[in-house]
Structure 1
Amino acid sequence: MTTDPYAALAVSLRENAVRKTAEALAGVSAELGTITGSGLKLDSFKHEIQDYLVAEFPGTLKLPDVKLTGTVDGLKDSRDGAVSGQGNFSFEPSETEKALLTLRYQPGDRVLALPINGGNDAIVICRVVSGNG
C-alpha cells in the first residue's frame, strides 16, 4: 500500500498549525488577581508582580440631559453672606473630546488581568465585583 506524500504533508501542516495556535492562545488567557499594598498577586502565579500595568480608556465622554436635586453649601450672596440649602440642578447634554478614564485600585480589590511576558508582567483591565451585590 502506497501512502500519498501530499496528503501526509497536508495532515502534518494542519496538526502543526493547530498546535501553534493553541500555544499562542494559551498565554493570552485572562486571570483573576488581587491588588496588594505593593503590587498585584495573580491567583495562579505564586509571586507578586510589583510593576504591573493598568489599562486606560481614551475616548469621548457623552453626558445625557439630567436633572438632579442636591444641597448647596459654600456660596456667597452679594453682601458676602453664606448661602446654603436645597436646589435643583439641570445639565444639558454634552460631549467632551479627548476624555481619559484611568481606573484606580486599592489593596484588596479583585481585578481581571492579562499576564504577559511569561507571567512576569501583567495588565490590569478592570476591577471585578460580585454580581449578587
Structure 2
Amino acid sequence: MSIDPYTALVVALRDNSRDQLQEGLSGVALELGTITSSGLKLDRFKHEISDYMTAEFPGQLRMPQLELAGRIDLLEDSAGSRLRGQGQFSFDPSETEEASFLVQYQPGDRVLVIPLEGGHEALVICKVVGRSG
C-alpha cells in the first residue's frame, strides 16, 4: 500500500516543527488560546491580544510521482469547443526550493501559543484539535 503524499508532507512538517520547538524552547511555558474575530484570547490572560504573530514553515517541498482522478471542466479543444468529463491527472516528481507552509486560522480555532516579551507578544504555533480531528 502506498503512502498518501499529502499525509507524508504533513507528518514531515509536524515532526520537523516539533523537533525544532523542543530544541529551542526548553523551559518556555506554552498557553492555550482561542482565535477571535479581532485577535487572540489566551486562556490565562484576561485581555485580548490584537496583534499576534503566527508561525511560518519555510523549506523545500518535494512531491513524489502522483496520479489523481478528477473532473475536467471548461477546457477548450483546438476548434474552440468546451469540454467536460472525467480525467486522470499524472504528475512527475518535483521539488520547489522556496516553498512556505503558512497556516490560516479562523475565529473559534483553539491554538497553542508561546507568550513572549513577558506576555506582551504572542506567537501562535498551531491549531489544537481533539483526537477525532
TM-score (norm 1): 0.77
Deviating above 6 A after TM superposition, structure 1's stretches of 4 or more consecutive aligned residues are none
Q: Which residue does the alignment assign to 2:15?
A: none
1:34-45 pair list within 5 angstroms: 34-45=34-45
What runs of 5+ residues in structure 1 fail to find an aligned partner? Answer: 1-23
Deviation of 1:128 after TM superposition, in Å, equals: 1.3
Tell me the distance in 2 between the aligned counterparts of 1:129 and 1:66. Answer: 29
1:1-133 pair list within 5 angstroms: 25=27, 28-133=28-133
Matching residue's letter, 1:114: I
Tell me the distance in 2 between the aligned counterparts of 1:93 and 1:30. Answer: 38
Matching residue's letter, 2:46: K
Deviation of 1:132 after TM superposition, in Å, equals: 2.0
Identity %, equivalent residues: 58
Matching residue's letter, 2:86: Q
Q: Which structure is larger by alpha-carbon Rg, 1 or 2? A: 1
Count of matched residue positions in the alignment of Structure 1 and Structure 2: 108
Tell me the distance in 1 between the aligned counterparts of 2:97 and 2:74. Answer: 30
Deviation of 1:120 after TM superposition, in Å, equals: 1.6
Tell me the distance in 2 between the aligned counterparts of 1:119 and 1:45. Answer: 9
Matching residue's letter, 1:92: D
Tell me the distance in 1 between the aligned counterparts of 2:94 and 2:88. Answer: 19
3-state SS of paired residue (1:118): helix
Deviation of 1:90 after TM superposition, in Å, equals: 0.8
3-state SS of paired residue (1:131): coil
Tell me the distance in 1 between the aligned counterparts of 2:29 and 2:64. Answer: 36
Note the alpha carbon deviations across 1:45-95, whole angstroms, 9 max, x for none: 111111100111110001111110000001001111100100001111111
Note the alpha carbon deviations across 1:6-54, whole angstroms, 9 max, x for none: xxxxxxxxxxxxxxxxxx93xx211111000110001111111111001
TM-score (norm 2): 0.77
C-alpha root-mean-square deviation of aligned residues, in Å? Answer: 1.3
